[in-house]
Structure 1
């Protein structure tokens, strides 16, 4: 999927208009409309602004599949996870599995 199609898809998923996106990302409505109507390729700077407006990163923008929004708590868990040993990770996974069974 190209960048223009991805933007259109994200707008549709959120039920947003080009106007709503322009207000969210700080770009003019004309800039957004030009990208969408003429299928023009946005610059990296413009694309970064659009991603900020959607509340996603550039990597999420280009990721294949469904977007998963991650809360700040989940991000913190992921950061801590990287510092655990394999044994610690196994223990934590077992703990979480047991907690979810109740």
Structure 2
């Protein structure tokens, strides 16, 4: 994904829309633990590269919202904890 160059900062209130946009682009976004997240696997991200660039342009810089994005993903059940026996976030039993 290209780095957003307009200087726009994503708003915390936009996190749900951002997550929805990433999912609609075909990426399986999920939190990893309590302090990181992934947009999806490499194949998903590669296939959705153009759309992810558009999402990046639309929402702007979100790096400073890392923990808030992780908290939102965890709140909707899209997370994996390190050391968990689950191999996919849908196996964690906390889907909302």
TM-score range relative to shorter protein = under 0.3
Alignment TM-score, normalising by the size of structure 2? 0.25
Q: Which has the larger radius of gyration?
A: 1
Higher RCO (CA-CA < 8 Å; seq separation 6+): 2
Larger helix fraction of residues: 1
